[in-house]
Structure 1
Amino acid sequence: MPWKQRLYGIFAFDYNYYFMDSISIKILKELQKNARLSFAEMGRNVGLSAPAVAERVQKMEEQGIIEGYGVRINLEKAGFPIQAQITIKTATHDFKRFISKLDNFPEVFDCVKVTGEHCAFLKVAVKNNQHLEDLIDRLTEYGHPNTSIILSSYTQNPAIE
């Protein structure tokens, strides 16, 4: 994306950049609590009109600050009562191959590449212990998995504070 810049003395201003002020942060907090709120209700909560809220949300979407909208799923109630974190250590070529085959692992709901001893952290949800064992067996084709069962989670989706 080309930047439209105008120089005033030594300062450069990017007119494609959306400035996050306290009202925009309040809007993000409202969306994080309930993305289905109407712009009118959000406006009442943050002290703006519905059109002003809609304009700010649209600008944040255009800038990529808001990447999309989703739903939080209770994995246990959805039939996946066991969640685990699996670290995997692979050879470089195996990691690239693993990432290209990630769609073959529907149990994986989060995968991040990391530095250090391991290559990636996976968060998985499975139906039972046998399902977890089968998943681990399938992962060994790509490297050495190390599994920890998640007993409790004290955080949810990342939130703007």
Structure 2
Amino acid sequence: MLHKVEKMIQAIPECIECDKITGEDCFIIRLVIRSIGQLDEILDELAEFAQCNTSIVKSTPVKRRLPPL
């Protein structure tokens, strides 16, 4: 089932990044969307095969950076 969900995520054009993680959740997906309605459409598709939880990023205090060498 996870393989099917992974393929579905790969096909979402609004998905700019996805990590497979440990713990209760299986994936963290970063989407760029224009509206909550657009988010609902994506969640409706995924909900057929996976339980979905959402969070919205309010700010990014530390942007992605390279570790010190």
**Counterpart in 1 of 2:12?**
105
Instruction: Please provide the CA RMSD for this pair.
Output: 1.4
Give the secondary structure class of the aligned counterpart of 1:154: coil
Alpha-carbon separation, structure 1, partners of 2:39 and 2:56:
10
Select the structure that is richer in strand.
1
Aligned to 1:151: 58
Partner amino acid, structure 1, of 2:19: V
Please state whether the residue corresponding to 2:39 is helix, strand or coil.
helix
Q: Secondary structure at the match of 1:145?
A: coil
Q: Percent identity among equivalent residues? A: 25
Secondary structure of 2:13's counterpart equals coil
Moved over 6 A (4+): none
Paired residue for 2:47, among 140, 147, 159?
140
* Distance in structure 1 (CA, Å) of the matches to 2:49 and 2:60: 28
Name whichever structure is richer in helix by fraction: 1
Kindly report which structure 2 residues correspond to 1:81-92, keeping only aligned pairs within 5 A, or say none. Answer: none
Q: What is residue 125 of structure 1 aligned with on the other side?
A: 32
Aligned partner of residue 158 in structure 1, secondary structure: coil
Residue segments in structure 1 that go unaligned for 5+ positions in a row: 1-93
Provide the residue aligned with 1:43 in structure 2.
none
- Give the TM-score normalised by the residue count of structure 1: 0.39
The gaps in structure 2 that reach 5 residues or longer are: none
Structure 2 length-normalised TM: 0.82
Q: Distance in 2 between matches of 1:133 and 1:122?
A: 14
